Chains A and B, each alone.
Chain A
Amino acid sequence: MKILVCISHVPDTTSKINFTDNDTKFDTNGVQFVINPNDEFGLTRAMWFKEKQGATVHVVNVGGPETEPTLRKALAIGADEAIRVNATPTDGFFVAKQLAAVMQEGNYDLVIAGRESIDYNGGMVPGMLASITGANFVNTCISLEVDGNNAKAIREIDGGKEKLSTSLPLVIGGQKGLVEESDLRIPNMRGIMQARQKPLKVVEATSAENATEVTGYEKPAPKGAVKMVDPENVEELVNLLHNEAKVI
């Protein structure tokens, strides 16, 4: 089985979000970039398929040269090969088009992507990729097993879970649950050394237009002051929620 894991390169969750150029560009100053958390769960599940079922695992990112350390980290965790599509990821549609070209070129059976990137929260790349290539698609995937050409998946739904069956080729949008938090791997020295020798291929982008264009950013309005209630007078909180906030 050939697996492609899509890796989105995102600001660390503790990052302060600021903008430059008259609020039109994300300010990367002082920001640490990491593997998108949802993709980290997916990559770990891919390692399971590699170790238990002899799968080959490639990772891919659509981005500039600055994303290579993130791809090297994925190699250090255990992926066999990395591909970087050399292009600025302007929107989800553009990225999906690039990934579709990589998926078709490499004849992958399974593509593991994340439910969403924590930067733009698009939640659209995996589904678009599946739709463009005609592959099956399961979103918010929290469990995946593959047997030959058949796949069984569990998807999280609002208020529960759903068991699904389908066939390869398959694209999933994965998230926490796909593996446990404690299964996530930190690259060790040996992995880091090996990663240096592993191939990181840079391919040129296929021509595609973006469907959306960001014109500017805004930060949320600052919050008003908190109103403190005396712990001996909890009734006041009930009154405030009813009469002032009108939420009960």
Chain B
Amino acid sequence: MSVLVYTESDQGKFKKIALEATSYAKGVAEMLGTTVTAIAINGGDSSELGAHGASKVLQVSDSKLEQFNAKAFADAIAQAAQKEEAKVVIISSSANAKFLAPLLAIQLNAAYAPNVVALPEGTSPFVVKSNVFTNKAFAKAELKSDIKLIGLSKNAYGLKENPTTATTDAFSPSLNEADFSVKVESVDKVTGKATIADAEVVVSGGRGLKGPENWHLIEDLAEVLGAATACSKPVSDMGWRPHSEHVGQTGKPVASNLYIAIGISGAIQHLAGINSSKVKVVINNDPEAPFFKAADYGIVGDAFEVVPKLIEKLKEFKVNNA
């Protein structure tokens, strides 16, 4: 009757969100007086999951699952849940996790709560708190089915070390042809660059940067910080930057530790999407820009003067703290 957590990996290494989901699963397991079992599909080093509270790791090694496939992965996780008689299943909020979640919920007949931000308020009734209205509010919802599926918001719970000796069991779910009825033809993924979904720091530019030719400011700043780059909606609408960088209510959500907004006014739709970032820095030449009200740190100044200085100071900082 353990709590099952699906742990995602990238190129044989567990992602930070997998360790966060495992930490959270441990918290839930303690509330229920049980243990955590992780399912890892072609995953990384199990001891990392143990360090965050997993007692058992079901390792799936299957070349058919080399590439993500929502239906097949959902099927594998569902079979693991059934084998473990798990009543609570935890997943992350990655694009892949959100893709497979509704399929998994139907297969397990589970009540599904996405964007969950904290441990359950209670387990009987089982009530969880989630982000709704794109971060403009929280809802508390009771999950009424026997099995509960929780999608954990990124960076909401954090990593919690919980040294546990994890045993590793090979697990071979039985997959059928129908699981692969949506085929991956090709993947086009930028490697070696931080993504908005995974980055600890996101540097974002708005219309205040005047044109795509000035984006080196954003990119250089992102590079010193190891950050992902993002932009406001009009910037992507005008084709200055790709759509995949558009953040906000109608674009991607950002839940990084640090979000730096440069030349962005702070419209309600923009703020909605970036509100769950922990620390917000705003650089804008208009002291009345609404974004300052939502910021932790602000600089009123011209981006073309402030950003190069900031890059320089950060480089010095890096040298001194290396």
Contacts and interface: CB of A to CB of B under 8 A. Distances in A.
B298 A229 contact: yes
Nearest to A10: B133
Contacts of A226: 282, 292-293, 295-298
Interface in B280-322: 281-282, 292-302, 305-306, 309-310, 313-314, 317, 321
Contact of B137 (A19, A158, A166, A213): A19
A138 interface: yes
B13 interface: no
A220 B107 CA distance: 34
A181 B251 CA distance: 12
Interface string A122-160: 111111101110001111101000000000100111111
A234 B137 contact: no
Interface stretch (B28-36, B38-46, B53-61, B185-193): B185-193
A207 interface: no
B162 interface: no
A127 B102 contact: yes
Contacts of A123: 98, 101-102, 114
Given A159-B197, A223-B293, A14 B268 contact: yes
A186 interface: no
B51 interface: no
A124 B141 contact: no
A166 B198 CA distance: 29
B78 to A, nearest CB: 11
A11 B134 CA distance: 11
A137 B140 contact: no
B215 interface: no
Interface in B51-71: 68, 70-71
A247 interface: yes
Interface string A62-78: 00000000000000000
Interface in B185-229: 185-190, 193, 195-198, 200-201, 225
B1 interface: no
A218 B313 contact: no
B87 interface: no
A160 B188 contact: yes
Contacts of A121: 114-115, 131-134
Contacts of A167: 181
A16 B193 CA distance: 36
B168 interface: no
A237 B298 CA distance: 9
B133 A156 contact: no
B182 A138 contact: yes
Interface string A166-188: 11000000001100011000000
A241 B251 CA distance: 27
Contact of A242 (B198, B293, B295, B317): B317
Contacts of B143: 211-212
Contacts of B175: none
A-B complex: 7 closest residue pairs judged by Cβ atoms:
A127-B102, A231-B301, A160-B189, A159-B195, A131-B106, A211-B111, A158-B197
Given A137-B70, A213-B142, 5 more contacts: A13-B272, A122-B114, A123-B114, A223-B294, A237-B299
23 contacts: A119-B132, A120-B139, A126-B102, A131-B105, A136-B181, A158-B197, A158-B198, A159-B198, A160-B189, A161-B189, A163-B184, A164-B185, A209-B144, A211-B110, A211-B112, A212-B113, A213-B142, A218-B139, A226-B282, A226-B292, A227-B297, A234-B299, A248-B225
